[in-house]
Amino acid sequence: MKNQVVIITGASSGIGKALAFEYGHKGAKITIAARNIEKLHVIEQDLVKQGVQVLSVQTDVSREEDCRNLIEKTIEKYGSIDILINNAGISMRAVFEDLDLDVIRRLMDTNFWGTVYCTKYALPYLLKSKGSVVGISSVAGFRGLPGRTGYSASKFAINGFLEVVRTENLKKGLHVLIACPGFTSSNIRNVALSKDGSSQGETPLDESKLMSAEKVAQKIIRAVERKKLFLILTMQGKMTVFLNKFLHRFMDVMVYNHMAKEPNSPFK
């Protein structure tokens, strides 16, 4: 990873922040992107103190012009791109029957279109470097999760999009990784959208029992180094994806019952 140029979206917290520090420790040149520029500047200062070359770019990935600017600023500073990690994303929690449709639009704009925009503008440089595109997807992109309509839809869309990008560039040396971390300790559930688009406010899960963002980042980096096509983390995640291939009705019941156990679950 020495001197490789890595762009990380959604880098102000959670997995994105952890990836920035892990790649920085390996000697990579980093571009960190997020909507909150103040948080990015704090992370940038910490990385600089550790001798890491880093660029902060305020970016709302739901805006095409922001994604184009992110790529252009990176090229201006470093001259190349080796790895693009599409990590920026938001979640939601509400049954479809009660859901304001604008919530799904917001999920698709950030999770799906953010991945499309950044990948589109970075692709010429990634093809030149024979680099890697990483999509931080989810088990929800393989198995629809009740109460997560927009989230699952956006992750299914990301998976399909990235599989096509991988296949179209099969003979051009481009590596594409679809990474599914499973439930990870982060603030994504705290800021998840409720049925009317307002912030959920608190997580329904015991965050202390979830895989840490730092451990997830280490596994993603290892998967990129090994040019893996998919990364599915946690035993629960692996079993969910595997069983859903063969036992659809069984998994409908299992997933429903699992989600019904969450505090204040909309399911009885």
Computed over every residue of the chain, the mean pLDDT equals: 91
258 burial (CB, 10 Å; 0-12 / 13-18 / 19+) is middle
User: Which CATH number, 3.40.50.720, 3.40.50.11260, 2.40.10.10, 3.90.380.10, labels domain 5-240?
Assistant: 3.40.50.720
Distances from the Cα of 65 to the Cα of 62, 69, 157, angstroms? 9, 6, 21
pLDDT digits (tens, 9 = 90+) for 47-73: 999 999 999 999 999 999 999 999 999
Sign of the alpha-carbon torsion through 49, 50, 53, 56? negative
Give the CB-side neighbour count of residue 150, counting CA atoms within 13 A.
29
Q: Is the pLDDT of residue 182 over 90?
A: no
Find, among 136, 161, 132, 151, the residue nearest to 219 by Cα. 136
Q: Is 148 helix (H, G, I), strand (E, B) or coil?
A: strand
pLDDT digits (tens, 9 = 90+) for 216-254: 999 999 999 999 999 999 888 888 889 988 998 988 898
Q: Is the pLDDT of residue 17 over 60?
A: yes
Find, among 81, 157, 83, the residue nearest to 114 by Cα. 157
Q: Name the pTM for this structure.
A: 0.90
Q: How far is it, in rounded angstroms, from Cα 46 to Cα 161?
A: 35
How is the chain split into domains, by residue range? 5-240
Q: DSSP secondary-structure letter at 212?
A: P
Q: Is the pLDDT of residue 186 over 60?
A: no
Asked whether the beta carbons of 227 and 133 are under 8 A apart, the reply is no
So what's the pLDDT on residue 111? Answer: 97
For residue 201, name the pLDDT band (cuts at 50, 70, 90): low
For residue 265, name the pLDDT band (cuts at 50, 70, 90): confident
pLDDT digits (tens, 9 = 90+) for 123-143: 999 999 999 999 999 999 999
Q: Is the pLDDT of residue 204 over 60?
A: no
pLDDT digits (tens, 9 = 90+) for 81-99: 999 999 999 999 999 999 9
* Residues carrying an active site annotation: 151
